[in-house]
């Protein structure tokens, strides 16, 4: 009986043999859907995924979680120690770090948790080494730092991306703007809003849905989606995570080589040993997390600038601000006074839907019982 890994290999070989054209797009779509299902089984076998494993259940702390991922001996432990002060064992041999080591540092009033994860190897997504635990923790991070040795081939970058992709992590990508709704009848129908589909047709869409045993569904596309985009939405378990490629050990290479590496998107050159570019690294992490700071102002007092409330810029409303402080605030909420960039005048009286901006000051007015 063929194992799941064998079935995956067979499908990948069939896909490689199949010519890509309009006539084969539906068949390729079906094969890709089968492949996605098998990879899901490989990652989370039937009967549950079991315990996360010793050392991989680091409790979430702070406002954001940043994971350090890379092959063994690329300087992750040194970087962790220099940024957070937490001693993560570093040595001149592979697999020095065997568990998830957490540490925290503060930047612009934000407490950031850094996770030093064991070095992954090729085949991690298939369970080699401690790959499943490592990439499983990576799925919970707000940001991933892929650490690369600047003196090593850039193929390491492609291999790590492949491992993360195989575990459902999409790096520096937006979630496809597709609404997928299962129905009880009516077959497979789709519509588009503000776009034209150039990579999908009715036959391919139907083939993908049927592979997921879905005979009735309504799909609304708001982007020119690909086969992979549709499969990701139907699977529903993908995470879309920002990523910075940290090119460590730049003291080992020449200026000319560094100029070539600068063509890599989302990259930042550093030297962990000499602490070169650390200020820029902290700023880049803050930029990619895309957070804003909101200061609270108790009634009759000056704003508290020492401990901002940190929330994501996306959907940063007064309601989200209240929920970040305490869920019970919504039940007592009457309105709020806002000072800062988002206010038309200072202060402006606003409701829960008001969109906040970085370094706004907010005073919550409660209902009188």
Provide the token pair at 97.
């770090």
What's residue 262's pLDDT? 82
For residues 270 and 148, the answer to whether their CB atoms sit within 8 Å is no
Please name the residue ranges forming H helices in 187-238. 202-211, 227-235
User: What letter would DSSP give residue 24?
Assistant: G
What's residue 43's pLDDT? 64
Buried-state track 225-240, b at ≥16 Cβ within 10 A, e below 16: bbbebbbbbbeeebee
What's residue 77's pLDDT? 87
Domain parsing of the chain, residue ranges: 4-48+176-235, 64-173+239-288, 291-366
Q: What is the mean pLDDT for each group of 10 consecutive residues in the chain (369 residues)?
A: 79 90 89 87 57 59 92 88 80 54 93 87 55 80 94 87 89 95 94 94 94 95 96 94 95 87 89 92 96 94 92 95 92 95 96 97 90
- Which residue in the block uniquely carries the two structure tokens 């937006």? 174
- Taking the C-alpha atoms of residue 77 and residue 86, their distance in angstroms, rounded to an integer, is 9
**pTM across the whole model:** 0.86
DSSP assignments along 228-262, one per residue: HHHHHHHH---EEE-EEEEEE-GGGS-HHHHHHHT
Q: What is the fold, at CATH topology level, of the domain defined by 64-173+239-288?
A: Rossmann fold (3.40.50)
What's residue 125's pLDDT? 54
What's residue 128's pLDDT? 55
What is the homologous superfamily of the domain 291-366 according to CATH? Answer: Beta-grasp domain (3.10.20.30)
Confirm whether 64-173+239-288 and 291-366 share one CATH topology: no
Which residues have CB under 8 Å from 271's CB, separation 6+? 248, 249, 250, 251, 277
User: What letter would DSSP give residue 91?
Assistant: -
Phi, psi of 52 (to 5 degrees): -70, -20
């Amino acid at each position: 009986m063929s194992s799941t890994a064998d079935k995956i290999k067979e499908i990948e070989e069939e896909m490689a043999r199949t010519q890509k054209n309009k006539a084969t797009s539906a068949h390729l779509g079906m094969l890709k859907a089968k492949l996605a299902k098998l990879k899901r089984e490989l990652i989370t076998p039937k009967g549950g995924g079991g315990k996360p494993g010793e050392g991989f259940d680091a409790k979430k702390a702070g406002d954001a979680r940043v994971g350090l991922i890379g092959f063994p001996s690329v300087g992750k432990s040194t970087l962790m120690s220099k940024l957070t002060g937490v001693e993560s064992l570093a040595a001149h041999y592979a697999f020095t770090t065997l568990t998830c080591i957490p540490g925290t540092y503060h930047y612009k009033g934000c407490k950031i948790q850094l996770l030093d994860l064991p070095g992954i190897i090729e085949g991690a997504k298939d369970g080699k080494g401690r790959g499943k635990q490592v990439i499983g923790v990576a799925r919970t991070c707000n940001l991933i730092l892929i650490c690369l040795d600047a003196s090593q081939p850039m193929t390491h970058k492609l291999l790590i991306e492949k491992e993360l992709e195989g575990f459902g992590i999409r790096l520096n990508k937006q979630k496809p703007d597709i609404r997928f709704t299962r129905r009880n009848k009516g077959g497979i129908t789709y519509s588009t809003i503000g776009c034209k589909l150039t990579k999908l047709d009715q036959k391919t869409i139907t083939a993908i849905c049927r592979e997921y045993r879905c005979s009735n569904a309504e799909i609304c596309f708001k982007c020119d989606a690909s086969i992979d985009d549709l499969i990701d939405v139907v699977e529903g378990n993908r995470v879309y995570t920002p990523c910075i490629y940290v090119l460590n050990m730049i003291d080992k290479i020449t200026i000319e080589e560094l100029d070539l590496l600068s063509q890599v998107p989302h990259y930042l050159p550093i030297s962990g040993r000499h602490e070169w570019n650390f200020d820029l690294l902290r700023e880049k992490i803050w930029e990619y997390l895309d957070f804003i700071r909101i200061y609270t102002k108790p009634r009759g007092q000056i704003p508290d600038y020492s401990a901002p409330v940190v929330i994501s810029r996306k959907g940063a409303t007064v309601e989200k601000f209240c929920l970040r402080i305490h869920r019970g605030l919504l039940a007592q909420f009457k309105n709020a006074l806002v000072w800062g960039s988002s206010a038309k005048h200072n202060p402006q009286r606003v409701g829960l839907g008001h969109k906040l901006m970085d370094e706004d000051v907010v005073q919550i007015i409660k209902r009188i019982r």
